[in-house]
Amino acid sequence: MLRWLQDYPHFLEWAYRLTHHLFIWLDPLMRRIGYGRVDRWLRPLEEAGKRSVFDCQMCGQCVLHSTGMTCPMTCPKNLRNGPCGGVRANGHCEVIPEMKCIWVAAYERSQKMPIFGPEMILLQPPVNRQLEGSSAWVNMLTGADRQTPLGWIKKD
Amino acid sequence: MKPETLFKSDGRLERVLRSGRFAVTAELNPPDSADPQEVYDAALVLSSVCDAINATDASGANCHMSSVAICALLTRAGYAPILQVSCRDRNRIAIQGDVLGAAAMGVCNVLCLTGDDVTVGDQPQAKRVFDLDSIQLLRTIKIMRDEGVFLSGRKLTVPPRLFLGAAENPFVPPYDWRPLRLAKKMEAGADFIQTQYCFDLPRFRQFMAQVRDLGLHEKLFILVGVGPLRSEKTAEFMRTKVPGVIIPDEIVNRLRHTPGPRKREEGKQICIEIIQQVREIEGVAGVHVMAYRQEELVAEIIEEAGLLPRPLRIGFIAPDPLRRLRKSQEDPPPFDPEP
């Protein structure tokens, strides 16, 4: 298990940035192969990697870097915009008393993240449940993870 | 053309708050009964001492009469309810439909909550939904009100007019992030805030100082949650079993050292003292009184804390939606807050 890596959020945000650039660089190649096929190959790899470090739940729309390198889907209530009001005084979860609230951990980690730490204040849109189980890396390239319901987009 | 109104809803709570008066809301605990009389009995006691009545949505994940149904009963009888919506039991489709229906029945206030988890309730085997979180829910209802569309982008013929509320718990970690999360709720569309039970005043003062530094007290109406404790046993139960309630040892000890028959009085006194102290804090716009099925006690507290009489004349008769012609865009003229 590689969970201890989460205690080095600054290293992880660098790793995130690196893979992000790598995938954008590889994008033309992946488009040629076909995103569907790439998804099938990448998914097991992504799942194995992210699950061992972050306990990834494969929601298919990764926001890890905006949530203190802590997977928000590991919260029993799936909260993506911050902690609920049920956190215990010792900072543990309301639902699983022996687990530290993932948002308490996320906040502590975000303090050590100069690049993506400030993104904690971003408003995360509702989860697209259709993307569950697909590769977030491929969805990032196709833009599927950034698609929000039509009404959500702010009209200015 | 729609006349420009300052108000987002037609309700009394918004008018009391915007006129700068100290607001009082109270919680109505839904009955485990199919008889509407129990709701009316509780509402009769509460309505004369508060500006809006919260209809809880299966609080503590225990099954009771639904909040939409209570709001229907209350609006029919002429009371001003606050519809509580939790994300635990319903997905985005059900919630948007409920909100629209509630607005059609004359509900003017909605409180958006995440909701206690199913495991703390009486049916822990149930499936938890949490399709949206409270902030996404706030934004969704704000979109319905301001843009006149569903989350999907489909148009509403008549958008709901609602005063949007959210909850906050300043008493649990991560303490430093709580004010920032409040800012996020404001950005998502919150107009007023009701906090969790406040017993830890030093912590609350610290929280309010941070809120003032961010300037949030000028854009949000913050109502502080308060409530009486019957005895040290109730206090012990609440701080161990009810999620998110923090009660300092001094208060529990104060109750423990009070002789039996005077415990109820002492608990009430503690609550009144807390109300008087939070009133002094800059940025506090009102109190939200909660007491599980003790409506008479709530009325006594509000009276003895010097919060009566409530500004009754500020009440506003909402236009009957049935009387409004479907095609016409005529709205009632803006309400004068100082009649």
Q: Where along chain A do its domains lie?
A: 3-143
Q: B124 preceded by cis ω (within 30°)?
A: no
- Kindly list the residues from chain A whose CB atom is less than 8 angstroms away from the CB atom of residue B246: 89
Residues paired with B155 in a beta bridge:
B149
Q: Cβ A77–B132 below 8 Å, yes or no?
A: no
Q: Residue A137 in contact with residue A42, Cβ under 8 Å?
A: yes
Residues paired with B289 in a beta bridge:
B26, B226
Quick one: pLDDT at residue B309?
84
| Identity of the residue in A127, A149, A155 whose CB atom sits nearest the CB atom of B151 | A149
- Kindly list the residues from chain A whose CB atom is less than 8 angstroms away from the CB atom of residue B155: none
Residues of chain A with pLDDT under 50: none
Q: Cβ A151–B150 below 8 Å, yes or no?
A: yes
Dihedral sign, CA of B87, B90, B91, B94?
negative
Q: Cβ A107–B174 below 8 Å, yes or no?
A: yes
Alpha-carbon gap, residue B278 to A44, rounded angstroms: 55
Q: Classify residue B48 by burial, with Cβ atoms within 10 Å: 0-12, 13-18, 19+.
A: middle
Instruction: Walk along chain B (339 residues) and give the pLDDT tens digit of each residue.
Output: 344 567 899 899 999 999 889 999 999 989 999 999 999 999 999 998 999 999 999 989 999 999 999 999 999 998 999 999 999 999 999 999 999 999 999 999 999 999 999 999 999 999 999 999 999 999 999 999 999 999 999 999 999 999 999 999 999 999 999 999 999 999 999 999 999 999 999 999 999 999 999 999 999 999 999 999 999 999 999 999 899 999 999 999 999 999 988 999 999 999 999 999 999 999 999 999 999 889 999 999 999 999 988 876 544 444 444 444 444 445 555 555 554
Quick one: pLDDT at residue B5?
65
Q: Cβ B133–A149 below 8 Å, yes or no?
A: no
Kindly list the structural domains of chain B, giving each domain's residue range(s) and its CATH number in brackets, ordered by start. Answer: 12-230+276-314 (3.20.20.220)
Residue B223: strand, helix, or coil: strand
Quick one: pLDDT at residue B2?
47
- Kindly list the residues from chain A whose CB atom is less than 8 angstroms away from the CB atom of residue B120: 94
Number of A to B CB contacts under 8 A, please give it.
115
Closest CA to B176 of A16, A29, A129, A103: A103
Quote the ipTM score.
0.94
Q: B309 preceded by cis ω (within 30°)?
A: yes
Q: Cβ B177–A82 below 8 Å, yes or no?
A: yes
Quick one: pLDDT at residue B333?
52
Q: Cβ B135–A77 below 8 Å, yes or no?
A: no
CB neighbours of residue A155 within 10 Å: 8
Q: Which amino acid is at B306?
A: G
| Identity of the residue in B116, B130, B152 whose CB atom sits nearest the CB atom of A149 | B152
Rama region for B72: left / alpha / beta (φ>0; ψ in -120 to 50; rest) = alpha
| Identity of the residue in A83, A125, A150 whose CB atom sits nearest the CB atom of B136 | A125
Q: DSSP state, B292?
A: T
